[in-house]
Amino acid sequence: MIRINRVELPSDLADQLHSRAGGLRESQADCPAARAAWKSAGAVRVRLAGHLNAMATGIRRCMYCGDGLGTDIDHFEPLAEAPLRAFDWPNHLLACSHCNSHQKRELFPRDEDGRPMLVDPSAEDPYGHLELVLSTGTYEALTVRGDATIKVFGLNRSDLERGRAAAFIRTEGDVPPGGGRPAVSTASPRRTLPCTDAVPRPRRWR
């Protein structure tokens, strides 16, 4: 999970979201009504997906695990808790089906003051909460919110760990001896960067 920079939507699309959100507020929509409204807004969802795809790291990568194909628009604050946020652009993130349907689902833990525990990569830098051990591909929590984020999104799923570690090993091997920009800090311990996305893109996608 790395920082995602949220783009500003075209004014006509932003107006459509505003209008639809107003409709939900006026009708005091509950979760089923919000889901129905969201499901019926196919053209809006297609355009939103396009903007989320452009924001994602890599090609349509999930904004949570960074690995799976981002096939779903996830409501970061679930509709079960916040149905009136169905058309709230800051609440939309691109997720793979595993993160969305098998990991996060309706989970949205809060602290004792009611503040969200999960890290929203489009609202804050995950680097403040998570640390990646490059050589093993394992995330370690720096904060209690980081711990909740790792658990809810399953960021240390074995396939993800193996993939990150393999990417790091391959990338490390691509750096020419005595030349080129180092892909990552190789100072020991190798745990300085939050994600292999930190390596230069030409090397990442080779």
| Residues that bind Zn ion in the complex, under the rule CB under 5 A | 62, 64-65, 68, 96, 99
Tokens 């909460």 label which residue? Answer: 129
Peptide bond into 189 cis (omega under 30): yes
Q: Report the sign of the C-alpha dihedral through residues 55, 58, 62, 63, in that order.
A: negative
- Cβ-based nearer residue to Zn ion, 17 or 65: 65
- Cβ-based nearer residue to Zn ion, 157 or 190: 157
Give Cβ neighbours of residue 14 (< 8 Å, ≥ 6 apart). Answer: 8, 89
**Per-residue tokens: 136:** 């093993």
Q: Closest approach of Cβ 67 to Zn ion, in Å?
A: 6
Q: Closest approach of Cβ 83 to Zn ion, in Å?
A: 24
- Cβ-based nearer residue to Zn ion, 20 or 61: 61
Amino acid at 52: L
Q: Closest approach of Cβ 158 to Zn ion, in Å?
A: 14
DSSP one-letter string for 12-78: HHHHHHHHHHHHHHHTT--HHHHHHHHHH-HHHHHHHHHHHHHHSSTTTB-TTTSSSB--EEEESS-
Q: Closest approach of Cβ 55 to Zn ion, in Å?
A: 15
- Cβ-based nearer residue to Zn ion, 4 or 62: 62
Q: Closest approach of Cβ 98 to Zn ion, in Å?
A: 6
- Cβ-based nearer residue to Zn ion, 172 or 197: 197
